Chains A and B, each alone.
Chain A
Amino acid sequence: METLVRQQAHKIALSLNYDAEQEAVMVYGLLAIAQIGITLLIVFLLGLILGVALEGLTVCLVGSILRRSSGGAHARSVGFCTTFSIVFCLGAGLLAQWLSVPNHPLVLLSMMVIVFAASLYFIHRYVPVDSPNKPITSPAKIRRMRKGSFITLAAYGLVSACFFYFGLASAPLRSLGISLLIGLAWQTLTLTPIGAILLQKLNDLPKFARKESKP
């Protein structure tokens, strides 16, 4: 996907007489559009087939919106990232739907308390988590990112409380509430060193599989 985007951007840059920096900015934007568009579209379409379109999109959006301000561990290739995001969002959607069938308000409330308490702690401890490709060193930006993460978490808390209250009588709302918790838990995990190691190991899986299949 990245190669295709770079080729098309180069063609457009040549046609518009753009310099290398303008082309790089265009590639950066096009890559974001392609990645977001493809991931959301496939999660929605496969989600419709599996009956978890809303749950899958909820997991996807909850993680992505918090990630805007919190940062987090990164994959090494756009292909792995897109594939992993799609599989994870749909898997989490199916899990949320399965967990929402029995109506146990106490279990759900405990899950909410644990996930939100852990998120609050790890956001306070690690945010913003930057990467070598996009370092964050300015104190003003660090403050802004931390504030943004806490505001997003507070908003999730309100939405989650609504899902919990109205979900007492509705399995689909319970399912969306659990999707929110799974999305938040995953994004929180990517803030921690354990999450970074886990993502690195998952990154190496395709390489390992290729090596194993060679005679």
Chain B
Amino acid sequence: MKKMYGLIAAISTLVAALVASSACYLFIYQPEEPASLRNE
């Protein structure tokens, strides 16, 4: 189970980094961006 969680965490962190490089989320909802991803 821990391996599965690790995989989910890795994929979601990768997607978060990809989304952070754009102007906003792909759709019309924008949650608060974590401080570590901010590149204002």
Chain A residues within 8 Å of B, Cβ to Cβ: 2, 9, 12-13, 15-16, 18, 21-22, 24-33, 35-36, 39, 64-65, 67-78, 80-82, 84-85, 127-131, 133-138, 141, 145, 190, 199
A133 touching B33, Cβ below 8 Å: yes
Chain A residues in 8 Å Cβ range of B26 = 32, 35-36, 64-65, 67-68
A-B contact count (CB 8 A): 138
Query: How close is B4's CB to chain A, nearest CB, in angstroms?
Result: 9
Given contacts A25-B34, A133-B31, contact A32 B25 (CB under 8 A): yes
Q: Report the count of interface residues on B (CB-CB < 8 A).
A: 34
A28 touching B34, Cβ below 8 Å: yes
A26 touching B6, Cβ below 8 Å: no
Instruction: Indicate which residue in A28, A32, A70 contacts B23 across the interface (CB closer than 8 Å).
Output: A70
A64 touching B15, Cβ below 8 Å: no
Instruction: Indicate which residue in A22, A26, A29, A190 contacts B28 across the interface (CB closer than 8 Å).
Output: A190
Chain A residues in 8 Å Cβ range of B27 = 35-36, 39, 64, 67, 81-82, 85
Query: How close is B39's CB to chain A, nearest CB, in angstroms?
Result: 7
Which single residue of chain B is at the shortest CB-CB distance from A137?
B40
